[in-house]
A and B are shown apart, each in its own frame.
Chain A
Amino acid sequence: MSAPDDLLRVSAERLLVAIRDILAEKSIVSPAEIADRIAITEAASPAQGGRIVARAWVDPLFRQRLLGDGTRAVEELGVVMRGAPPLGVVENDGSVHHLVVCTLCSCYPRAVLGYPPFWFKSASYRARAVRDPRGLLAEWGTIVPAGVKLRIVDSTADYRWMVLPRRPEGTDGWDEERLASIVTAGDMIGVTIPKIA
């Protein structure tokens, strides 16, 4: 049996403990730093992204900062971006709709949206997002009108991209919390648009 085969037979828990102990012993990363990173990773979720979108909808100056430098803008809201790739935000409006994909692997703005939905990593989503995007969106019930340009953002390198969707009609006077509650991960990837329940 080769060494890699042996590794596959060891329980993940034992491997994790062994690696964590070695990292601590060599003073590369302390157990406290690892626990800290796990807490940061688990705090990120689409709800956090929804909070960012809602703030951009009600605060035009924040929206401007968000589109200019996503990382710095979301740090204002308490999102921890330390150690995360830079965040880019692309805005949907009446003339362009954005759709984010990573055709090469599964790059996703985890720092703001948490773990990617399972389909985001699927070969069929990654292929169809660039080859047949309007057909793909139609299956989500998202019809991009003929006069609206569809811009597919293929996340290939150092940035992570998130979509700032359009604020739906009928939400005048809503507070940020209520606005945030209607924003889903799909809306911030661009496969869907925010809907009032």
Chain B
Amino acid sequence: MDAIKLSGVNFSYARGVKLDYVLSGIDLAVEAGQFLSFVGPTGCGKSTLLHLIAGLSQPSSGQLDLFGRVCAGVNTDCGYLFQSDSLLPWRTALENVTLGLEIRGVEKRSATELGMVWLDRVQLKNHHHKFPHELSGGMRKRVALAQTLITNPKILLMDEPFSALDVQTRSSMENLLLDLWSADRKTVIFVTHDIEEAISLSDRVIVLSAGPSSHPIAEFPVLLPRPRDVFEVRLAPEFLTIQREIWAKLKQEVEKTNARLM
């Protein structure tokens, strides 16, 4: 059974006769435990795709199934790591991590215990009492990661989560993500601009066409062995081959986008 299945999904913000599709004709199946990345030019509807899978937006037509069940509302099986800050500024790091448990009615003491375990996993145990504005950008991302994973979602949706971080912080976040992921291999949909990031993390990379009416145009399996280290994996000759192939596809789309925006 596929974890995620999109059949003939179209999406448009407008309603009416003349529809201007953001996404059109998306057919996609993702098996459970797969780490899938989407790359595509700016404005190709990558975030919209994640919103659809999370059930935060509904497709204009087509169907979404998660684990064989047709979805209509918000999918609480999904954890979502947003591009920008999603931490609540009035809650401490620990309180932010336990937010999902509190909302689900978990008793305070066991929520706090589990929260500390997760803060330890993202190496922030000693910062549990700090408010978000007292943490660095990388620390805030790690809190957000713990916050997303603590409720044990079956599917993890990530929308360019590390794009605002500097290169070193970013690589260590990527390694941390791979570490945490390898523990129970959730299904991951990862959206990024960055081909290298996509390859080094994923089992499968899909290239989206330039918008509007964006859709998948090519896909590449990534067979590099795991566990991987995102620094080292980039030196493998296979890595460079895939990177070249993906860029050849993506380049045309980027040029189309640029031509449209100029």
Do A and B bind?
A: no
Taking beta carbons and an 8 Å cutoff, which residues of B are in contact with A? none
